[in-house]
Structures are given as C-alpha cells and as structure tokens.
Chains A and B, each alone.
Chain A
Amino acid sequence: MNAVLQFLASYSNIIDLCLLNSLIGYALFLSLSANMFSLATGGFMALGAYCSVYMTMELGLPFSIATVAGAALAGVSAALIGAPVLRLRGDYFMLATFAFTEVVRVIALNWDSVTGGALGIVNIPRDTQTWHLALVLIAAIYLVHTLRGSYFGRAIAAIKQDEVVAGTMAIDVFKYRLLLFVANGFACGAAGAFAAHLNYFIGPGDFGLLRSVDALSYPILGGLNALFGPIVGAVFTTVLPEVLRFSNQLREILMGGLVVAIVLYLPGGALSVLDFKIGRPRNGKAVAETLRAKP
C-alpha cells in the first residue's frame, strides 16, 4: 500500500498529464470521426487557458466557473470559425484551423495586459486536481461511447465514409460536423483551463502548432475505431518520452521511429492488435482511407 502511494506521489505529474492528454485525445476523436483534421486544438486550448486564468486570478472567480467559461468560450469560437471553415475541403480545412491557432497565438503574444505577452502568466494557482481530470475524462468516454451506439453514431460513421450517401439519407452533414467541431472546441477549451491551472505558468508558446499536431496523433496512434484508442495513444505519447529519458539525444529520434512504426505496421492504431486476438477483420484499411479521405 505504501509503495503504491509512493508511486502515485512521485508520478502524479505524469498521471495528470496522461489524463489531460487523454481528454484532448477524445476531443480530437470527435472531430476525426467525421474526417475533420483539425489543427485548431492549440487555439482552443489557449482560449480556455487565458480565459480561465483571467477569471481566477483577476476576477477572483472559482476555478469551476472559470473552467466552464473557458470551455464555453472555445466552444463558441469553434461555432464561429466552424460555420465558414467547415465548408472547405480536407487540406483547406486543416490550413484554416492552423491559421486560427496562429492568430490566437499572435494575439496572446501581443495582448500584454491580459496574457502577459511573451513572458506569459506566472504563479497561477494549482487548482486542477487529479480527480477533476479523471471525472471529466470519464464523462468524455461516456459521451463518445453512447454516441457510437446510437443513430447519431451511425450517421457520423456514414459521413466519414461517404458524405454524399449520408446526405441522400437525410443526414445534415454540415450540422453534424459543426456540432462535433463545437464539442471538440469545448473539450479543448476545458483541457486548456485544466492545463493552465496545473503548471503554475502559461505562455503563448504552450499552445502552438506542435500541441495541435500532438493532439491529432493521440487518437490516430491509439486507433480511431476503438473506444479506448485516444487513451492508449495519449498515454503512449506522454509516457514514452519519460521512459526514454536515459538517452537524452536519442529520445526524439526513438519517439519518431516508434510513431512511424505504428503507422506502418498497425495502420488501424495500436488497439487494432486486439482485432487479431478476437479474430475480427483488421480495420487498418478504414483508417488509411480516413487519412486519405477529404471531408
């Protein structure tokens, strides 16, 4: 028992990060399930982070309200940018969402009075508790699981595979995409608020392109057809750099190599290994198609 507590104490940081990244993984799982390769994650997280920090530190509001407000702000901005941008096809959508993340970063860099500019904001209260993250993550899993089992899930799967067919089945493709994108923004905003209150510090560099690309990799590495894919991908990419700490220089290279290996040999994501065991057909092809498909 003592050993377990000790373990938890020394690794609590990593556990928090795993939970946080898993949450981000589910946010991206939602958008990817309708073929939306969003690079807006960094932008949404920055909105959630700065908004919530402003509310807790400047306005003295409780952390819970600040988190919900940060998430809501990100959700609303997802609706605002989603309405025009979701009409764009594949790569253009990706570029537009990347532009959004950049715009938010540049604003954060220059709006000194609110964001602290390039220096960022320090001494943020460490309000995020592990159980907060766990609770929100469980809620996200429940949401995804229930959606997948419903006719909404069937409609989303149809949009992913053939949106023309989805349209002729009376499915409002645009409405579904917008809803998923708003849900994605809301969850990323919440994750941003949690991240800000976990690290004592936030700066404009925390929420850039790298963050957005990492976020995309969680559900893709874990498996887009598996409910627990985002967790597996997020934990993998969070823990691996720690495990590889013994070789500081090789770390990044090994990490990259492993990611390439997974994409090459398990195109359905890490969890497609399970499909072998249970004897179901491999779904690797489906994901490869997703990567190629244009929304």
Chain B
Amino acid sequence: MIGAALQVDQIAKRFQGVVAVSNISFVAKAGEVTGLIGPNGSGKTTTMNMISGLYAADSGRILLDDRELTKIEPHRIAALGVARTFQNIRLLPDQSVLSNVLLGAHRSHHANLAEVLARLRRVGVEERALNERCRTLLDEVHIGHLAATAAGNLSYGDRRRVEIARALASSPRLLLLDEPAAGMNHGEKARLADLILQIRRSGITILLVEHDIDLVSKVSDHVVVLNFGREIAEGTPAEVRSAPPVIEAYLGREDA
C-alpha cells in the first residue's frame, strides 16, 4: 500500500485567545479520500496547516501510520511523505511549469553536494530520470504541453493542476488538497473530480478540504464536517448530507 493512514487525535489551536480548532479527532484511512468540509472559518485550513506542520498544534497528536507528526518541522513532515497544495495557489510564477514540478521531486534527488560540484555522470542521469518522471506527471494531469510555459502565465485551473503535479512529484503517501476547486467553474470542477479519483486509484491517501459539497460527495469515501472549530458530523457523504447538524450549519435552523 502506497498510502498512509492519517490519525488526528484531539488537536486544538488558538490564535491569541480565539479558538480556531478545538479538540478535533478523525481518521483518514489509507488509500481513501477523506473530505473535510465546513462553512467559512470552521477550522479546515487551520487543521490542514497543523497536519503539514506550518502551525504547531497547541494540544493533541497527529499520526501518519505510527509516526508522530506533531512538533516536527514542515520539511521533515514533507520528507515523511506528506504533500500539500495551497488554497491561494503558491507556485513560483516566473519559473517554468516543469521547474515548479521538479521542485516537488526535491526529496527524490540523492546526489550530494560534492557529487554535484564534481559533475559526476550519475548526477546527470538522476536529473534526466526525474525530469522524465515530472514530464510524465504533467501528462497525467493533462498539462504536458505547458511544461515550458512560465507558471504565472497559466489559467487558474491549470495552475491548480501544476500544484497537484508538484505535490505528486514528491511521491507522497498522503496528499492534502486545500480547497482545490476554489474559483473553478463547473467544467473545471468536473475535471478536477476525475483527477482526484485518478490519484485515488494510484493508492495515495487524500485529505480533501473543500467548500463545494457536490465535489466532496462525488469523490470522498468518508466525510468529516467541522463548524466553529468543532467536529459536528462524520460518515459517508450520504449520511453526512442528511445529518441535522450539517443541514443546520449550512442552511440555518428551521425555526430560526
């Protein structure tokens, strides 16, 4: 199994007294797509930032299989096989799409500094092999023809794809997608759903933070719903959609 299981156990985060996340627990099973949904400000992105190490959790534990991720630096978490995308796409705009994706393959390079400076043959061989792998990845997310374009010149949907390709280039065991459908039109969303299912088939565990309930229902095996930093429901997409607390959070109470 390529994918790793993610276990989030009672994590909490406060920002100067404001509780962003309070005691959230859930499990993302290996090889499945877990949707993390909730209205604005419900703590989804904060949770994701704690998993990828950008924020330190105030309390609780996060486990990837049996490795504890809490309190270690983002680059170490990434090296353990956790890749992510960003809600506000963060590519290097003046570099080519291919260089952006190659950045994801950073941890796949094994040549050390001395070997690089000596320009050993195998350094070039390794570089070409990873180049090839990244091109294949670009083909898989259907933007192979854009490899040489500067990332900043791409359309919104394509930039999302570059971010996903960059995350995949690190051969992750867990992929965190932070609102990948934000700002996408209907057609782009449908293609994104296909892409997510395609990644799922490769065995990578996916945690999907998303606003769009339709997209989440379409691709998720399991859904966790947050509101005001707390977990209010959990289950299959169908179960969650009919759960009263979820309906209340999204639509308001009937008697209100």
Interface residues of A (CB under 8 A from B): 143, 146-147, 150-152, 154-155, 157-158, 161-162, 164-173, 281, 283, 285-286
B106 touches A168 (CB 8 A): no
Per the 8 Å Cβ criterion, residues 81-125 of B in contact with A are: 83-84, 86, 90, 92, 94-95, 99, 102-107, 109, 111, 113, 116-117, 119, 123
Asked if B194 lies at the interface with its beta carbon under 8 angstroms from chain A, I say no
Give bound CA distance, A164 to B78, whole Å.
Answer: 12
A167 touches B74 (CB 8 A): yes
Asked if B170 lies at the interface with its beta carbon under 8 angstroms from chain A, I say yes
**Total contacts A-B at CB 8 Å:** 78
Interface residues of B (CB under 8 A from A): 52-54, 73-75, 78-79, 83-84, 86, 90, 92, 94-95, 99, 102-107, 109, 111, 113, 116-117, 119, 123, 127, 150, 166, 170
**A161-B92 contact given A152-B116, A169-B170, A170-B75, CB 8 Å threshold:** yes
B83 touches A143 (CB 8 A): no
**A150-B116 contact given A167-B78, A169-B78, A170-B170, CB 8 Å threshold:** yes
B92 touches A170 (CB 8 A): no
Residue from the set A147, A157, A165 with the largest chain B CB neighbour count within 10 Å: A165
B106 touches A143 (CB 8 A): no
Give bound CA distance, A158 to B191, whole Å.
Answer: 29
B123 touches A154 (CB 8 A): no
User: Contacting A158 at CB < 8 Å: which of B74, B78, B103?
Assistant: B103
**A143-B117 contact given A151-B127, A161-B92, CB 8 Å threshold:** yes
**A150-B94 contact given A155-B106, A164-B54, CB 8 Å threshold:** no
B117 touches A170 (CB 8 A): no
Return 8 A-B CB contacts under 8 Å, by A number.
A147-B117, A151-B102, A151-B109, A151-B127, A167-B53, A169-B166, A170-B78, A170-B107
B119 touches A169 (CB 8 A): no
Chain B residues near A283 (CB, 8 Å)? 94
Chain A residues near B113 (CB, 8 Å)? 152
Give bound CA distance, A162 to B74, whole Å.
Answer: 14
**A168-B52 contact given A154-B99, A286-B94, CB 8 Å threshold:** yes
A167 touches B75 (CB 8 A): yes
A154 touches B102 (CB 8 A): yes
Q: Least Cβ distance of B13 to chain A in Å?
A: 17
Give bound CA distance, A169 to B106, whole Å.
Answer: 7
A164 touches B106 (CB 8 A): no
B106 touches A154 (CB 8 A): yes
Chain B residues near A157 (CB, 8 Å)? 92, 95
Chain B residues near A162 (CB, 8 Å)? 90, 92
B103 touches A173 (CB 8 A): no
Give bound CA distance, A158 to B102, whole Å.
Answer: 11
Chain B residues near A168 (CB, 8 Å)? 52, 54, 74-75, 78, 83-84
**A164-B90 contact given A147-B116, A152-B116, A169-B103, CB 8 Å threshold:** yes
A146 touches B106 (CB 8 A): no
**A155-B103 contact given A164-B90, A168-B74, CB 8 Å threshold:** yes
Q: Least Cβ distance of A110 to chain B in Å?
A: 39
Residue from the set A166, A167, A169 with the largest chain B CB neighbour count within 10 Å: A169
Chain B residues near A165 (CB, 8 Å)? 86, 90, 92, 103
User: Contacting B123 at CB < 8 Å: which of A150, A173, A281, A286?
Assistant: A150
**A146-B79 contact given A151-B106, A167-B74, A169-B103, CB 8 Å threshold:** no
Give bound CA distance, A132 to B109, whole Å.
Answer: 35
Chain A residues near B78 (CB, 8 Å)? 167-170
Chain A residues near B127 (CB, 8 Å)? 150-151
A146 touches B117 (CB 8 A): yes
Give bound CA distance, A244 to B90, whole Å.
Answer: 47
Give bound CA distance, A169 to B166, whole Å.
Answer: 9
Chain A residues near B83 (CB, 8 Å)? 168
Give bound CA distance, A147 to B109, whole Å.
Answer: 14
A169 touches B73 (CB 8 A): no
Closest to B79 in A: A170
Chain A residues near B170 (CB, 8 Å)? 169-170
Q: Least Cβ distance of B237 to chain A in Å?
A: 28
Chain B residues near A150 (CB, 8 Å)? 111, 116, 123, 127
Closest to A173 in B: B75
Q: Least Cβ distance of A142 to chain B in Å?
A: 8
Give bound CA distance, A157 to B92, whole Å.
Answer: 9
Give bound CA distance, A168 to B107, whole Å.
Answer: 11
B92 touches A158 (CB 8 A): yes
Chain B residues near A285 (CB, 8 Å)? 94
